[in-house]
Amino acid sequence: MASSLHRFANPNRFMRLSGAVLPWAAVITAILFPIGLYLALFASPPDYQQGETVRIMYVHVPAAWMALFVYTTMAVASAVALIWRHPVADIAARAASPLGAGFTFIALATGALWGQPMWGTWWVWDARLTSVLILFFLYLGHMALFDAFDDPTKGARAAAILALVGAVNVPIIHYSVEWWNTLHQPASILRDGGPSIAASMLWPLFIMAFAFKAYFVTFLLVRMRSDITAAKLRALRRTQVEGAGMSAATPAAAEADRA
Amino acid sequence: MSDFLAMGGYATFVWWSYGLTAAVLIGLAVFALRRARARREELDQLQARLGPGRRESRQ
């Protein structure tokens, strides 16, 4: 397991692979968003109870799914980073959290904008809404911890531990609508017995969900590649300070040399 | 068209939802792309200055 993982640990191999995947992810994002928006705003029917506000669902639900998906991705990457000291895993976790925070913010904000006309309130402190707000703060804490130490490996370690501890919140969010009485409705898609919403609304929802996922893949890769470039820059500067022409003395500089 | 924009009387809520979503996703994308380009240009310049002793690391 460890040895097969380490084949992907090499940042150069990652740069090659991600360079091949990135254009496809970008193209899929660019194709799916216009189709999804057309279906969500024009081609899908208004709801018989909620009227046109149901269109908020097509951004709210994909954003909420991504908020959980990105956190799970981040927790897995953090576990890999802690257990196997996999350098690309730390980079992945770091690149993911601002995107996850963005998705969580969208879910919270569109939820408030949907709650006001349908529930008569922007916000309630119920289990679902509160646990998602905690998720948002976990993302912000993860982003802050990475930069809170002078030694970047210490920051990465602390952030990885936070990501793993915070992972208990993911099933709590998912099951909150079943375990507690909440104003939020229970799951309509990921439930026993299959989706309970009409196909005319299911398709726009799925296409928007795939658009959000393709967007995440695209910008996760952009951010990871950019962080690897930054690491090379730091390593090169360090060798420059130590004196040009000297052989690489630090592991980081040796890494840049191989690059 | 004005019917479409009115969203059955819920225009404020629907358009704010889509507007905020677009603002967040486009904002994160522009930030990431700008920073990636700045870092790549800086790395290229530094490698050019360090001269031919170093292998090209851009892929």
pLDDT digits (tens, 9 = 90+) for A8-19: 457 888 999 999
The whole-number pLDDT of residue A243 equals 67
The CB-side HSE value for A25 (13 A sphere, CA atoms) comes to 17
Confidence at B59, pLDDT banded by 50, 70, 90: very low
pLDDT of residue A259: 47
Q: Where are the domains of chain B?
A: 2-50
What is the model's pLDDT at position A240? 79
Residues 6+ apart with CB under 8 A from B52: none
Nearest CA in chain A to B29: A219
User: Phi first, then psi: what are they for A225, rounded to 5°?
Assistant: -65, -40
Residue A213 touches partner B, C-beta closer than 8 Å: no
Using a CB-CB cut-off of 8 Å, the residues of chain B touching A12 are 59
Tell me the sheet residues that pair with A47: A51
Q: Which residue of B has its CA nearest to A215?
A: B25
Q: What are the CA-CA distances from residue A223 to residues A3, A13, A32, A170 (Å)?
A: 26, 16, 21, 24
The answer to whether the beta carbons of residues A155 and A148 sit under 8 Å apart is yes
Token pair, residue A123, equals: 């916000």
Partnered with residue A51 across adjacent β-strands are A47
Of B7, B43, B53, the CB nearest to A229: B43
Q: How far is A193 from chain B (nearest CA, A)?
A: 30
pLDDT value at B6 more than 90: no
Nearest to A55 by CA among A170, A233, A205, A255: A205
In angstroms, the CA A42 to CA A55 distance is 10
CA distance B43 to chain A (A): 6
What local confidence, expressed as pLDDT, does residue A2 receive? 46
- The predicted pLDDT at position A250 comes to 52
pLDDT below 50 — which residues of chain A?
1-5, 7-8, 247-249, 259
Contacts with B27 from chain A: Cβ below 8 Å: 102
Indicate the residue of B24, B32, B59 with minimum beta-carbon distance to A106. B24
